[in-house]
Structure 1
Amino acid sequence: MGKMIQNNEEYNEYKEEIKSNLRKSFTVSDLEYICKYIHIDGAYNIALALGRTKNSVVKMYTQLKKENTDTFFRNLNIFW
């Protein structure tokens, strides 16, 4: 499993990283990573890796799935 937040210091670092990514668009690399590994790592661990919230990762994956572009990003093989 991925890294779990153990104490307040780690939480504050994570919180600052999330604040820096607020309202930023997902990159193609982010989308490829989400589509490939959401079923393996889970939304929480992907959110930690990308410095996003779990909710934003789930929302983006759901949107990609509705638009049928999740398989495109899963098979892209440029970054991951």
Structure 2
Amino acid sequence: MARTVPEICEDGLSYDSMGRIQYHPDFHFNHRKPFTQEELAYLCKFYEVDDSRTMAFALGKTEATIMAKVSDLKKQGLFEYFRMRWDRQYT
């Protein structure tokens, strides 16, 4: 599948074909950094409450990275573990 060049919109951001914001250093300050345990717990706790864009802004990662990480955690059976970890730590 050929990659398409992201379109830059009036807001100065570029979006992929699925409408996700592409990497921008002002918003994705944790780009290419590994997730911390606390970030994974936060992601799993609030992913189903907030949308992927909100989570991306909160964690400083791209939407694609957020969605891929959630998918990986679910496949590995760790999504619920990290969700419960947030509950144990903060409630």
TM-score band, normalised by shorter chain:
0.7 to 0.9
The correspondence for 1:72, drawn from 62, 81, 84, is 81
What RMSD over aligned residues (CA atoms) do the two structures have, in Å?
A: 2.2
Task: Flag structure 2 segments of 5+ consecutive residues without an equivalent.
Answer: 1-10, 14-22
Greater helix percent: which structure? 1
Greater RCO (Cα-Cα under 8 Å, separation 6 or more): 1
CA distance in 2, matches of 1:24, 1:67: 20
The correspondence for 1:41, drawn from 17, 42, 50, is 50
Alignment of 1:1-80 (within 5 A): 7-8=11-12, 15-17=24-26, 18=28, 20-77=29-86, 78=89
Q: Which residue of 2 aligns with 1:3?
A: none
Q: Is the 8 A contact 2:31 2:62 kept in 1?
A: no
Aligned-pair CA distance for 1:53: 0.3
Q: Tell me the number of residue pairs that the alignment of Structure 1 and Structure 2 aligns.
A: 70
Greater strand percent: which structure? 2
Q: 2:49 is matched by which residue type in structure 1? A: I
Task: Flag structure 1 segments of 5+ consecutive residues without an equivalent.
Answer: 1-6
User: Percentage identity across aligned positions?
Assistant: 30
TM-score (ref. length: structure 2): 0.66
CA distance in 2, matches of 1:27, 1:79: 16
Aligned-pair CA distance for 1:43: 0.9
